[in-house]
Structure 1
Amino acid sequence: MARRLLSRCGQWVFAMAAVLLFAGCATLPDEAPRPATRAMAASADTALGKIAQASQPDPDLSGFRLMPGGDFAFDTRIQLARRAQRTLDVQYYQIENDETGRYLLRTLRDAARRGVRVRLLMDDLYTSGEDELLLGLAATPNVELRLFNPFPAGRGSLLRRFTASLFDFSRVNRRMHNKLFIADGAMAVAGGRNIGNQYFRRTAGENFLDLDTFVAGALIPRLGALFDQYWNSVYVRPVQSVVASALTRDELQKRFDTATGPDTTPPPPRPAPNDLLGYSPIAEDLDAGKLDLIWTLAEAYADSPERVIGKTASYGGVPLLDVDSVRYNVVEQMRRARSEVTIVSPYLIPGKAGLEVMREIRRRNVRISIVTNSFAATDEPLVHTAYRRYRPEMLELGAELYELSTTRTRRSVRLGLFGTSVGRLHAKSAVIDRQVLFVGSMNFDPRSETHNTEIGLFIRSPEMAQQTLKLIEVLKQQGAYRLRFAKDSGNARIEWISEEEAGRTTVLNEEPDSDFWGRTMLEMLAPLTPESLL
């Protein structure tokens, strides 16, 4: 929990503290223009391209498969990397230096050794202490590794980074939150997962409930163009231009090989025969040469990388609607809803604008159902403090609120978190009128709206929407508490309700799975952090 505080208000708190402790300022040096490179189109000359073309029923349609299970989601990425023959375009907010992260990096290295062009784009926030590992990968022929909005100094720790960039805080506070994996211009994975053990249920401690989707078909060129928009941005630098090393290329490669070898990086376990939706691993489809997907119309949007300097569209100094932003398109879909809106967001701070959208659609009797983390389940406790301010108003509007319970998720058979000390929600999705599914990297909070860049897919498929609602219903029934106003409290007190086995109902009057000292600490820290930074 403490580590994750750094990603939001902790950035602000540490930077302010650093004023009293250190002096210094570092900015990115000017760089000569680099020649732009572009995503490669799918081709029947590659195995993945041939399978994608053979599976697509119509050139205007895109194919999808939801991946709620971490074992399936990681195995899909590994299968695509192993089978790629021409190119891999990979973009992540965070790749952790653990068994999962190192295994993916080694798989990318192996692809490059086969002659595959690997373009890896990482946000630079969580790369502290990983410079040698990243330089070792970048020393491999056919690999180019770039950092988005890098920290120019203090690279040993996050505190030192922010201290060195103290007077450039407005820039370094803005991060690339996108998650995208494209193989041979033919198949992709997009969604909410970063790369690390806890995102794929490989720890006995904190694990995330998350959601990705496999993609093929008409949407792939659009995803490639969105990747290129970032890859060729002036706010992206090759890792070698940011990090210095006295080691030779051969030495860096040898150290990478040792760091990612079998002694420290065992292979992941094989995925289960079937996932929650009844699908088998994607490898079986690829071996058979035909993809079992849901084919439909879809769109994809990503925020402009120029958000890193706070740049938005304007005319005569007046801000304009950013119609290509993820947030704008999610809100527009909500406004068009006629019957119901279901939202899943681990970090939920609607703000005044979000509440107004809810009021607008509730006036038309549109049902609103929201699932988010409880105080005990969240890895961002200060975000939860801001969220709590809006709970009464959302309940008064008639929104149905559910909060994930660490205790209930551990007991759930279908959620599959046995042996896990904490189950946390990390999926970001929305279902509109049971017709349109949004899945992507965007949280419903100020950071995703104004500071971070995001990517999101809008899938127009009743079948995909129904599958997602099925997953959400399992989450509500087996892993969450429903919130309501206590009877005769005059909307002054909230209760947490769960339906247990044998029809037994549990009613709680305090934040579930929390203790007095945790709640007290939260109240003490809450006033220190501006909501706009959460």
Structure 2
Amino acid sequence: MGARPGPWLQWMRLGLALMSVLFFAGGCATLPAEFERTPSKALPASADTPLGRIAQSSQPDPDLSGFRLMPGGDFALHTRLELARRAQRTLDVQYYQIYNDETGRYFLRTLRDAALRGVRVRLLMDDLYTSGEDELLLALAATPNLELRLFNPFPAGRGSMLGRFSASLFDFTRVNRRMHNKLFIADGAMAVAGGRNIGNEYFRQTAGANFIDLDTFVAGALIPRLASLFDQYWNSEHVRPIETVVATAVPREQRQRRFEELTGPATTPAPRPLAPNDLLGYSPIVEDLKAGKLDLIWTRAEAYADSPDRVIGRQANYGGIPLLDVDSVRYNVIEQIRRGRSDVTIVSPYLIPGKGGLEAMREVRGRGMKISVVTNSLAATDEPVVHTGYRRYRPDMLRLGAEIHELSSQRTRRSVRLGLFGTQVGRLHAKSAVIDGRVLFVGSMNFDPRSDVHNTEIGLIIFSREMAQQVLKLIDVLKQQGAYRVRFAPGTERIEWVSDEGGEEQVLTSEPDSTLWDRLMLELIAPLAPESLL
């Protein structure tokens, strides 16, 4: 909850990691004693609910899943809210971060309203960004029919990020591993999955810089698989009800009244009205729900999520020999790339390929595959420390012949078409890949060490030429109107940034849109930022 703290969090993580090596463990805060766990399971779709009936009547084949991409944040938010309002049996909701802003509070209030109607609401949040929000979350958890659980919780110092990491100094390895998943399932019949957290800047609800992100609406055969992945986390030993982490003597009724005060109309206005159509020409999903028929792309798909046991570094092995984690998101995405024949386009806001990723690129380039990468520029990223890791691999990727584009906050603001993403578009947050123009990955996974090792992720692999082409068209707009192409200056290995402004090629020789101070800081921190912690 709350605004993203930015690059200082990574430095704090680094400092605490080093301190934990220098000092022996002692006096470390620990979670309260074990409690009685109450497992529960996802409820299957039923024709007894409107969402269940619509989903079943819209599905042309029991083996197919239906999808609709949602590049527009306002449409993505509206879809979640409409599903919550129309759910009658259950809502299973899993997020890395829910901001304590207008969008976050409105979202939580909508879940509260569903619970008061008798809907079983299971809300699972990662505990990293809940600093200072215990009052709001405990107030929400006082709602009948709603249970709020925290993934990998911090035991103490909960009022601030610094306090909670300091209190967990000697447990840093554990608390540094987080649940990055994003998933929303309504009545076991319809879902939303992708890259968005819940907050103003993810849904085009701020006049400041909005993220460019991507979600997909889901129905059909994939829903039971998504529900089982949710259950795997919900019932994990690394998850606790908030009441077992944060003690409170405030009566339930008083907490309910406090939630009403904290999320009332004075502080939590409704989201802005929607445009008639989104970037892909779709009308709001509510029109389909009203008509009783989903207009989706029906195709074959797979879903994967990393094991919640990643929080303790547990890895599958046989006789002490590590095994490939064939259910992990990264393994399956890389396998799809390795099976490619012609080209792959990767979109990742935080891109650090590492030696393994670079080797995979070298392998597919050796077979003649084209590689195109879109990521944030230094000026566009909200994590400049991560940019130091990306920068180390940029020359190697260029030497391999990869095409690299970096999103420009200035160019996106000048683009009329990209303005449809938000009043000001400054940052890339979408995570996707397109292989051979026919296989699409959409999910929460960045192509970086944190997603590969420390965080858990969720991802969908969709076998649809139509959807893959939709994403490629969106990416082409980003490349042409909102990004710089990175290249070596002719005859050298000096990096240049190139754009087409009014039909004329513009060439820059330093990180675009950045200040001298930005570049100086990058040079200073680069040697101090270990790749394993980025």
What TM-score do the two structures reach when normalised by structure 2? Answer: 0.97
Q: How far is the alpha carbon of 1:486 from its aligned partner?
A: 0.5
Q: How far is the alpha carbon of 1:528 from its aligned partner?
A: 2.2
Name the structure 2 match of 1:315: 318
Q: How far is the alpha carbon of 1:387 from its aligned partner?
A: 0.5
Greater mean alpha carbon deviation, residues 519-528 or residues 163-172: 519-528
Q: How far is the alpha carbon of 1:529 from its aligned partner?
A: 2.3
Q: Quick check: 1:44 aligned with 2:43?
A: no
Counterpart Cα distance in 2 of 1:38 and 1:12: 38
Name the structure 2 match of 1:217: 220
Name the structure 2 match of 1:394: 397
Name the structure 2 match of 1:498: 499
Seq. identity, % = 75
Q: Quick check: 1:412 aligned with 2:421?
A: no
Q: Quick check: 1:485 aligned with 2:482?
A: no
Counterpart Cα distance in 2 of 1:337 and 1:277: 26
Name the structure 1 match of 2:163: 160
Name the structure 2 match of 1:174: 177
Counterpart Cα distance in 1 of 2:450 and 2:175: 13
Counterpart Cα distance in 1 of 2:435 and 2:451: 20
Structure 1 vs Structure 2 CA RMSD: 1.6
Counterpart Cα distance in 1 of 2:473 and 2:8: 34
Residue 520 of structure 2 aligns with an amino acid whose one-letter code is T
Q: How far is the alpha carbon of 1:420 from its aligned partner?
A: 4.9
Residue 514 of structure 1 aligns with an amino acid whose one-letter code is S
Structure 1's unaligned 5+ residue stretches are none
Counterpart Cα distance in 2 of 1:246 and 1:164: 23
What CA deviation, in whole Å up to 9, does each residue of 1:360-400 have, x standing for no partner?
00011100000000000001101101101111110010000
DSSP-derived class of the 2:82 partner: helix
Name the structure 2 match of 1:328: 331
Counterpart Cα distance in 2 of 1:464 and 1:2: 31
Q: How far is the alpha carbon of 1:299 from its aligned partner?
A: 0.3
Residue 316 of structure 1 aligns with an amino acid whose one-letter code is G
Aligned residue among 12, 15, 20 for 2:14: 12
Name the structure 2 match of 1:514: 514
Q: How far is the alpha carbon of 1:463 from its aligned partner?
A: 0.3
Counterpart Cα distance in 2 of 1:10 and 1:323: 33
Q: Quick check: 1:151 aligned with 2:140?
A: no
User: Is this contact kept in 1: 2:32–2:244, CA < 8 A?
Assistant: no
Name the structure 1 match of 2:530: 530
Q: Would the alpha carbon gap of residues 236 and 418 (structure 1) be closer, same or farther in structure 2, given more than 3 Å must change?
A: closer
Counterpart Cα distance in 2 of 1:4 and 1:500: 31
Q: How far is the alpha carbon of 1:271 from its aligned partner?
A: 1.4
What CA deviation, in whole Å up to 9, does each residue of 1:279-306 have, x standing for no partner?
0000000000000000000000000000
Residue 495 of structure 1 aligns with an amino acid whose one-letter code is E
Q: Quick check: 1:279 aligned with 2:282?
A: yes
Counterpart Cα distance in 2 of 1:422 and 1:8: 24
Q: How far is the alpha carbon of 1:2 from its aligned partner?
A: 8.2
DSSP-derived class of the 1:237 partner: strand
Aligned positions, number = 530
Name the structure 2 match of 1:79: 82
DSSP-derived class of the 1:162 partner: helix
Q: How far is the alpha carbon of 1:24 from its aligned partner?
A: 4.2
Residue 460 of structure 1 aligns with an amino acid whose one-letter code is F
Counterpart Cα distance in 2 of 1:47 and 1:422: 37
What CA deviation, in whole Å up to 9, does each residue of 1:328-377 have, x standing for no partner?
00110010010000000000000111111001000111000000000000
Counterpart Cα distance in 2 of 1:62 and 1:56: 8
Aligned residue among 290, 295, 300 for 2:293: 290
Q: How far is the alpha carbon of 1:270 from its aligned partner?
A: 1.5
What CA deviation, in whole Å up to 9, does each residue of 1:169-212 have, x standing for no partner?
00000000000000000000000000000111212223110000
Name the structure 1 match of 2:455: 452
User: Where does 1:6-155 land on structure 2 (aligned, <5 Å)?
Assistant: 6-14=8-16, 16=18, 24-155=27-158
DSSP-derived class of the 2:62 partner: coil
User: Is this contact kept in 2: 1:409–1:478, CA < 8 A?
Assistant: yes
DSSP-derived class of the 2:411 partner: helix
Counterpart Cα distance in 2 of 1:419 and 1:193: 15
Counterpart Cα distance in 2 of 1:255 and 1:29: 26
Q: How far is the alpha carbon of 1:504 from its aligned partner?
A: 1.5
Counterpart Cα distance in 2 of 1:417 and 1:204: 13
Residue 11 of structure 1 aligns with an amino acid whose one-letter code is R
User: Where does 1:368-383 land on structure 2 (aligned, <5 Å)?
Assistant: 368-383=371-386
Residue 504 of structure 1 aligns with an amino acid whose one-letter code is E
User: Is this contact kept in 2: 1:276–1:414, CA < 8 A?
Assistant: no
Counterpart Cα distance in 2 of 1:419 and 1:430: 23
Residue 53 of structure 1 aligns with an amino acid whose one-letter code is Q
Residue 521 of structure 1 aligns with an amino acid whose one-letter code is M
Counterpart Cα distance in 2 of 1:434 and 1:2: 34
User: Is this contact kept in 2: 1:15–1:162, CA < 8 A?
Assistant: no
Greater mean alpha carbon deviation, residues 231-240 or residues 199-208: 199-208
DSSP-derived class of the 1:118 partner: strand
DSSP-derived class of the 1:311 partner: coil
Q: Would the alpha carbon gap of residues 417 and 510 (structure 1) be closer, same or farther in structure 2, given more than 3 Å must change?
A: farther
DSSP-derived class of the 2:276 partner: coil
Q: Would the alpha carbon gap of residues 2 and 50 (structure 1) be closer, same or farther in structure 2, given more than 3 Å must change?
A: closer
Q: Would the alpha carbon gap of residues 317 and 33 (structure 1) be closer, same or farther in structure 2, given more than 3 Å must change?
A: farther
Q: How far is the alpha carbon of 1:263 from its aligned partner?
A: 0.2
Counterpart Cα distance in 2 of 1:411 and 1:24: 54
Greater mean alpha carbon deviation, residues 99-108 or residues 203-212: 203-212
Counterpart Cα distance in 2 of 1:306 and 1:331: 21
Q: How far is the alpha carbon of 1:32 from its aligned partner?
A: 3.0
What TM-score do the two structures reach when normalised by structure 1? Answer: 0.97
Residue 74 of structure 2 aligns with an amino acid whose one-letter code is D
User: Where does 1:403-482 land on structure 2 (aligned, <5 Å)?
Assistant: 403-416=406-419, 420=423, 423-482=426-485
Counterpart Cα distance in 1 of 2:9 and 2:350: 12
Q: How far is the alpha carbon of 1:246 from its aligned partner?
A: 2.6
Counterpart Cα distance in 2 of 1:64 and 1:422: 25
User: Is this contact kept in 1: 2:279–2:420, CA < 8 A?
Assistant: no
Q: Would the alpha carbon gap of residues 9 and 428 (structure 1) be closer, same or farther in structure 2, given more than 3 Å must change?
A: farther
User: Is this contact kept in 2: 1:61–1:218, CA < 8 A?
Assistant: yes
User: Where does 1:332-351 land on structure 2 (aligned, <5 Å)?
Assistant: 332-351=335-354
Counterpart Cα distance in 2 of 1:245 and 1:318: 46
Q: How far is the alpha carbon of 1:521 from its aligned partner?
A: 1.1
DSSP-derived class of the 1:385 partner: helix
Q: How far is the alpha carbon of 1:36 from its aligned partner?
A: 1.4
Q: How far is the alpha carbon of 1:269 from its aligned partner?
A: 0.8
Counterpart Cα distance in 1 of 2:237 and 2:421: 45
Structure 2's unaligned 5+ residue stretches are none
User: Is this contact kept in 2: 1:410–1:418, CA < 8 A?
Assistant: no
Residue 436 of structure 1 aligns with an amino acid whose one-letter code is V
